[in-house]
Each structure stands twice: as structure tokens, then as C-alpha cells.
Amino acid sequence: MTSNQRKENSSKTAEKILAVARKVFAEHGYNGTHMDEIATRANVNKATLYYQIGDKDTLYANVIHQVIGNVAQDIVRAVAEARTPEEKLKAYIACIAQAVDKNPEIPPIMMREIASGGVNLPRLVVEDFVSVIATLMGILEEGTKKGIFIETIPFLIHMMILGSILLYKGSLPIKDRQTWLPASIRNKDKKIKGNIANEVAKLILRAVKKSRV
């Protein structure tokens, strides 16, 4: 076994590369991203990048895993901790919103990934998605059986939740950039900035719950 400082420095550069790659892939997508840009923005020689991580596909796979790998487990855990279907559904939504809040690279990357039919998605990640949807199906079924929820199409509900959050968050840059956009549209939702989870949860629950109290 050799030095420690070397290893630390080395893993530091690797992390820096990963962090930068994450941003760049989110900005430009897989095809729009150039290894040179990543190297430059990470203050690293391109060969170092290849030495530390590998080719473009590997780098992208790493980013994907880092970005959306853990969300699934979070969701499953958070849902398990909640008691009623209603609480579970709230936890489900909060988890997704929180994940997106924590790393804003999720919307662009996921939307592009869906757009391209998930060609670049590692099997492991797809399996994560499956477990997430399965969780939601469980929640909805339980709710329906208990007479709390109406009958629904789980896959659609999931896309409604995910779509709301992804598109809402993902559109903020456009909205902010288009300075000539009518103020009525730009300002109307300032009040909920950063926390749409509650609003989405409210709407989804209203849509799904049978009786209103």
C-alpha cells in the first residue's frame, strides 16, 4: 500500500470531475456535452479525466447513478414510515420534490432521458424507477381498498406528480430568462418558491381522495 495523500488528492480530482460533469450534462445533455468542456471547467487535463474515470459513457453512467440512484430508496423508506395512505402519498410527493430541490440537475437529465427512450439508463436505475412506481401502486391500492381513494391509473398518477415537479422546476430557468414575459405569469407563484411539494400534494390529494372533509 502506498501514500494516503496521493489517494486523497486523486479522489478529490475525481469528485471534482464528477461534480462538473453533472452540471455540464444537465446543461447540454449527453450529445451536447464535450469532454473538453468538462476537463476545462474542472481545471483538469483531459487525459486526467480519462485516467480517473474513463470514457464518456462511463462518466455519464456515474453521473446518472449519483443523481438519481438514491432517490428511489429514499422514497421507499419515507413511504414505509408513514401510516395512512394519505400520509404515504404526501411523503411520496415530498420525497420527489425534495430530491429535485437538492439537486437541480434532475429535471433536465430525467426529461432528456425519457425523451430518448431511456437508452442510456443503466438497468439498475430503471429497476429503481420500477420500485418507485410499485410503491405508488401499493399506496393507491391500499387507499382504494380502504375506501379513501377513488380508483385511478397509478402510472398516470405517477407521471402527474413527477411531471408537475419536473416541468415546474425545469421551466423556472426559461421563465426567469424571458424578461419580456408578462409579469402576471412571472410573479403569480413567487409565494411558493422552492416548496411546491405542499401545493402538488394538496392538488393530487384533492384529485384522488373520495370524500372531502
Partner DNA sequence: GGTCAGTTTAACTACATGGTTAAATTAATC
Partner DNA sequence: GATTAATTTAACCATGTAGTTAAACTGACC
Q: Which amino acid is at 192?
A: I
With respect to a copy of itself, which residue has the nearer C-beta, 15 or 192?
192
3-class DSSP string for the chain? CCCCHHHHHHHHHHHHHHHHHHHHHHHHHHHHCCHHHHHHHCCCCHHHHHHHCCCHHHHHHHHHHHHHCCHHHHHHHHHHHCCCHHHHHHHHHHHHHHHHHHCCCHHHHHHHHHHCCCCCCCHHHHHHHHHHHHHHHHHHHHHHHCCCECCCCHHHHHHHHHHHHHHHHHHHHHHHHCCCCCHHHHHCCHHHCCCCHHHHHHHHHHHHECCCC
Q: Binding partner of residue 187 among DNA, a copy of itself, none, CB under 5 to 8 Å per kind?
A: none
- What minimum distance in Å lies between the beta carbon of 17 and DNA? 9
Residues paired with 149 in a beta bridge: 209
Q: Are the CB atoms for 139 and 75 separated by under 8 Å? A: no
Q: Find the shortest distance in angstroms from Cβ 111 to a copy of itself.
A: 4
x/- map, 62-91, a copy of itself, by CB under 8 A: ------------------------------
Among 3, 179, 184, 187, binds DNA (CB under 7 A): 3
Contact positions with DNA (CB under 7 A) in 21-40: 33-36
Q: Which one, 44 or 97, has the nearer CB to DNA?
A: 44
Using CB under 8 A, which residues numbered 148 to 167 contact a copy of itself? 150, 152-157, 159-160, 162-167
57 part of the interface to DNA, by CB under 7 A:
yes
Contact 175/144 with Cβ under 8 angstroms?
no
- Which of a copy of itself, DNA, none has residue 179 at its interface (CB below 5 to 8 Å by kind)? none
Give the residues across from 209 on adjacent strands.
149
Q: How far is the CB of 26 from DNA (least distance, A)?
A: 15
Contact between 119 and DNA by CB under 7 A: the answer reads no
Stretch in the footprint of DNA (CB under 7 A) among 53-61, 97-105, 179-187, 202-210 = 53-61
Amino acid at site 62: N
Sites of contact with a copy of itself (CB under 8 A): 27-32, 107-109, 111-112, 114-118, 126, 130, 133-134, 137, 150, 152-157, 159-160, 162-168, 170-171, 173-175, 177-178, 181-182, 184-185, 188-189, 192, 196, 199-200, 203-204, 206-208, 212
